[in-house]
Structure 1
Amino acid sequence: MKQRSFKQYFITGLLVWLPMGITVWVLTWLVGLLDSIFLAILHAADTLIPGMHALADYLRGVPGLGVILVALVIFSTGVFVANMFGQWLFRQWDKLMNRIPVVRSIYTSVKQVADTLFSGSGHAFSKALLVQYPRQGSWTIAFLTGTPGGVVARHFDQPLVSVYVPTTPNPTSGFFLMMPKADVIELDMTVDDALKYIISMGVVVPGGPEQLPLAAPATPQ
Structure 2
Amino acid sequence: MAPPSAHDPGPRSSLGADAKTDAQLTAGLKRLVSDDGKTGWRLGSRIRNAFLTGLVIVGPVTITLWIMWGVIHWIDAWIKPLLPTTFNPDTYLPFPLPGLGLVIAIVGLTLIGALAANLLGRTLVSSGELMMSRTPIVRNVYGALKQIFESVISTTGPNSSFQKVGMIEFPSKEIWSLVFVTGETTGEIKDAKPGGAEDLLTVFMPTGIVPPTGFICFVPRANVVFLSMTVEEAAKIVLSGGIVMPDVAEKMKRLAAAEKKASRFRLGSDKPAA
Structure-1-length-normalised TM-score: 0.70
Query: What residue number does 1:175 align with?
Result: 215
* Alpha carbons of structure 1 residues 32 and 140: separation in structure 2 relative to 1, 3 Å: farther
Name whichever structure is richer in helix by fraction: 2
Choose the corresponding residue for 2:177, options 128, 132, 140: 140
Q: Deviation at 1:33? A: 5.1
Kindly indicate whether residue 45 of structure 2 is the aligned counterpart of residue 4 of structure 1.
yes
Amino acid in the other structure paired with 1:75: T
Aligned residues: 199
The 2-side partners of 1:103 and 1:23 are apart by: 34
Q: Matched residue of 1:143: which SS?
A: strand
Query: What residue number does 1:31 align with?
Result: 72
Q: Deviation at 1:88? A: 2.7
Amino acid in the other structure paired with 2:181: L
**Worse-matched range after superposition: 118-127 or 22-31:** 118-127
Q: Deviation at 1:210? A: 4.5
Checking the alignment, whether the CA contact within 8 Å between 2:163 and 2:231 is kept in structure 1 is yes
Choose the corresponding residue for 1:205, options 233, 245, 253: 245
Choose the corresponding residue for 1:85, options 120, 139, 156: 120
Q: Deviation at 1:150? A: 3.4
**What 5-or-longer segments of structure 2 have no aligned partner?**
1-41, 253-274
The 2-side partners of 1:137 and 1:25 are apart by: 42
Amino acid in the other structure paired with 1:115: E
**4+ residue stretches of structure 1 with deviation over 6 A?**
none
How far does the alpha carbon of each residue in 1:55-110 deviate from its partner, in whole angstroms, 9 at most, with x for none?
Answer: 9x96xx76544333333321221222233322232222223322323322222222
Checking the alignment, whether the CA contact within 8 Å between 2:73 and 2:99 is kept in structure 1 is no
* Alpha carbons of structure 1 residues 185 and 7: separation in structure 2 relative to 1, 3 Å: same
Q: Matched residue of 2:137: which SS?
A: helix
* Alpha carbons of structure 1 residues 125 and 173: separation in structure 2 relative to 1, 3 Å: farther
Kindly indicate whether residue 203 of structure 2 is the aligned counterpart of residue 163 of structure 1.
yes
Query: What residue number does 2:228 align with?
Result: 188
Amino acid in the other structure paired with 2:132: M
The 2-side partners of 1:32 and 1:177 are apart by: 38
The 2-side partners of 1:72 and 1:164 are apart by: 33
Amino acid in the other structure paired with 1:182: A
Q: Matched residue of 1:101: which SS?
A: coil
* Alpha carbons of structure 1 residues 23 and 183: separation in structure 2 relative to 1, 3 Å: same
Higher relative contact order by CA 8 Å / sep ≥ 6: 1 or 2?
1
